[in-house]
Amino acid sequence: MDKPYLRELFKPALENPVFVQGLPGFGNVGRIAAHLLIKFCEAKPFAELYSPSFPDYVSVSTKGICYLPKYEFYAAPMENNNLVIMTGETQPSFDDVLAHYEVCGDIVDFVEKLGCHFIITMGGVPITEDKNQVYVAATSPRLATEFMEKGAVIYSKGRIVGGTGLTLALAKERELDGVCLLGSTTGFKADRGAGFMVFKFLMKALGKEIKEGL
């Protein structure tokens, strides 16, 4: 394998889906939120993305079977918004800038072909104070204001590293709309509380209230 490879398991019948991405990062917030979303929507996997830029290890199942690292795409038909959800257990090395651009570009290519015109990426933002908050960065001032009115705080004068920011920025260059939702987290260990907070905020923004204790 000398370049990213995308394998489709089936073609989902989704009209105007919203693309939601949650990858590992600070507090593993994006990945936790994505898995909560997949579970809640009972989403079905329909495609897999492999890349030689992913780390050189494999995952081993409880039955001893080896699997290459990959990104998985899930289809979730919903009453108000059809969703395409993508998550994975890794990202390219943060030192390999070209790999990030290549992989994120392939993601945007794929979801654009699926008819996705709105992009939502999810991740974590490290903070030193003990404050639960969802921050938002967007592709336009209008969307930033819209999500601020839903309860998020504008994420300003900062950086969003890795695929969480780059996927959204590349989508913006193609004139696609979208937002990045960042849950506040105090460390690098898995922060399920922050992941649930981002998931809950996203569902509220999509018109579905989530109770505690899911």
Domain range annotation of the chain: 5-205
Model confidence pLDDT, tens digit, residues 97-142: 888 899 999 999 999 999 999 999 999 998 877 778 999 999 999 9
Q: What is the pLDDT of residues 183-213, one digit of tens each?
A: 999 877 889 999 999 999 999 998 876 665 5
The pLDDT of 3-27, averaged and rounded, is: 91
Residue 127 or 182, more confident: 182
Confidence check: pLDDT of 29 > 70: yes
Where does 5-205 sit in CATH, by number? 3.40.50.10900
Per-residue model confidence as pLDDT tens digits over 62-87: 999 999 999 999 999 887 789 999 99
Q: Which two tokens stand for residue 151?
A: 């309860």
pLDDT of 156 higher than 80: yes
Q: Find which of 51-60, 91-100, 163-172 is predicted with most confidence, using mean pLDDT.
A: 163-172
CA 90 to each of CA 10, 30, 35, 39, 59: distance values in angstroms, whole numbers, following the listed order: 24, 12, 14, 20, 11
Give the pTM.
0.92
Residues 20-49, mean pLDDT to the nearest whole number:
95
Nearest C-alpha neighbor of 77 from the set 6, 9, 18: 18
pLDDT at 131: 78
The alpha carbons of the chain give a radius of gyration, in whole angstroms, of 16
Q: Please report which residue ranges of the chain form alpha helices under DSSP H.
A: 29-41, 97-113, 141-149, 163-173, 192-205
pLDDT of the residue at 208: 72
Distance CA 158, CA 163 (A): 15
Cα torsion at 161, 53, 170, 157 (round to 10°)?
A: 10
What pLDDT does residue 129 have?
A: 73
Place of tokens 């938002």: 136
SS3 per-residue string spanning 4-46: CEEEECCCCCCCCCEEEEECCCHHHHHHHHHHHHHHHHCCEEE
